[in-house]
Structure 1
Amino acid sequence: MKIKLKITKKHCYDIILNKRWKSLKTIIPIGCDCHPAHMLEILNLRKQSLPFDWLDTEPIYSIKYAYENIVNKFNFFLRDLKEDNEGKVFSNKFKYSIFYHYDDLIINKKLQVKIQNRCINFIKLIKTKPIYFLNTVTSESINSNEKVKFFLNSVLEFQNILKRKDILIIYLRYDETQDENKLFCDKLIDELEFFDKNIRIIKYIREKKLFGIWGDEKKYTAFIRKIGISIYPIFPKIIIKKHKIN
């Protein structure tokens, strides 16, 4: 909502009220890329920076990657950092995941400490709070029976670290239609329906050609509710902008 106030003959103020939401449980993005964290950011549901927020991981490995770092308390997360041909940084143990926005991570010791602190905070959160773990996997990556089996085994592994009130939510992301790798994607969904109730999977079409990589941001609130994350409105974020009157 935007409110325009004319204070003087020369200036007016735009008062922008951005809706804010709060979740009944802590929401933690775990890849495969920036989309889950971006969605939370847009909805003002992202309260802190955490290790997997802005990484780019090969989608099929995203849950395995999160699981291995959690059980190893992130001891290998920043170890033996390397740079690929495009100048992107990755840990040599996890060649399938890059620190996409941190090209100077190898030499930037302050940034390394900042990320280490995020890892420490992550471990504290999952020990003490009920968690929605939020993951996205792409339809493009679910392209064979072997990939379906690999991803299912990753979910089974991850299930071992869920507390009683934790929930792993996976949204299977299609670019344009649900026909993308339909046979294998439908098989993945069918198999996951037999998992415990603390594992959820839902389809999401981002309409990439029309809205770009982030999808239609106006639909985020409805989608968050659709995947079963309980949110409620809180006091809005107020932004005041001063303008000259022409």
Structure 2
Amino acid sequence: MRIPIFYNPISKSKKFLHIDRNFNYEKTIIPIGSDCHTAHVIEVLHLRDFSLPFDYMGSGTVHSINFVCENINNNFKYFIDELTLNERNIVTSKVYPEVTFMHFPKIIENEKLRETFRRRIKRFYKVINDNQVHFINGVPSNKIYSYERADIYFNGIIRFMNHHLKQNDKLSAFIRYDENKEFTGYLAKKLENLVKEKESVFYFCKYIRQTSKYPTWGNPKYYPKLLKDLGFNIKETLPKIYIK
């Protein structure tokens, strides 16, 4: 809910009193792609405690989990130093061309921005080493258009779980659909079986964004259910009240 409290007719600036639903969770939630939707969900629910490097990636790709693994293993070599411009003049990873930095078009030449990401990278390592962590990744259904691409994503999940989950850490993944559950049965079945195999460590669900009604971000009223379906035992607390 937001209530208008100020309007400047000269500058046309506005201020609102925001009253938001507010949640707590026992672990630190870290979004790891595949695009900015995961970070947006936890930010809306006031569960995003830190600014971290994978928050607003523009990849939306089945390669996102492998991209995360490679960077953790190589001190984020492929995050800052191995970048180029694609044919649409969007910054991409040289190693994983589907991974884009569309929200950060100046990251190659802007040293101040690069330094911001260096701080986020340093913070990322500290957070995952010092806290019990629950990672979250979502992949758009339209990127899973072959068995090969489904396997790339699934194997990335296995790789991440085998090498980057500490004891008591968790990983959740969802397939994001725009309007209906298009053909992703092969991958969905494999992920559902993995949930049974890795009970209380890995969680999976299907999520319909309904973009015809809620462009870009889906319906924020559904976000708490999405997280609960993904194994996040979030608890609602007193509302978050602020002016913006």
Greater RCO, 1 or 2 (C-alpha within 8 Å, sep 6+): 1
Q: Quote the offset at 1:86 in angstroms.
A: 2.3
Task: Using the TM superposition, give the Cα deviation of residue 95 of structure 1 relative to its aligned residue in structure 2, in angstroms.
Answer: 1.8
Relative distance call for 1:99 and 1:2 in structure 2 (3 A) is: closer
2:49 is matched with 47
* CA displacement at 1:4 relative to structure 2: 9.0
Q: How does 1:62-141 map to 2 (within 5 A)?
A: 62-141=64-143
1:6-56: CA deviations, max 9, x gaps?
xxxxxxx97543232221100000011010001111111112211111111
2:154 to 152, 155, 177: 152
- What does the per-residue CA deviation read over 1:208-227, in whole Å, with 9 as the maximum and x for residues that have no partner? 11211211111112222222
Q: Does 1:176 align with 2:190?
A: no
C-alpha separation between the residues in 2 aligned to 1:112 and 1:90?
A: 15
Please list every run of 5 or more consecutive structure 1 residues that lacks an aligned counterpart in the other structure. 6-12, 242-246
TM-score (norm 1): 0.86
Amino acid at match of 1:19: R
Take 2:4 and 2:84, find their aligned partners in 1: how far apart are those partners? 51
- Does structure 1 residue 215 correspond to structure 2 residue 218? yes
Q: Decide which structure has the larger Cα Rg and report it.
A: 1
Bigger strand fraction: 1
Does the alignment pair 1:237 with 2:240? Answer: yes
Q: Are the aligned partners of 1:148 and 1:188 in contact in 2 as well (CA < 8 Å)? A: no
Q: CA 1:4 to 1:70, structure 2 compared with 1: closer, same or farther past 3 Å?
A: closer
Q: CA deviation at 1:58?
A: 4.4
Alignment RMSD: 2.2
Residue identity opposite 1:207 in structure 2: Q
| Number of aligned positions between the proteins | 233
Distance 1:68 1:233 in 2: 36
Q: Is the 8 A contact 1:133 1:168 kept in 2?
A: yes
Q: Alignment partner of 2:105: what SS? A: coil
How far has the Cα of 1:189 moved from its partner? 3.2
Tell me how far apart the structure 1 counterparts of residues 183 and 76 of structure 2 sit (CA, whole Å).
Answer: 33
Contact 1:148–1:187 under 8 Å retained in 2: no
Paired position in structure 1 for 2:24:
22
Q: After superposing the two structures, state which structure 1 stretch, 81-90 or 45-54, moved more.
A: 81-90
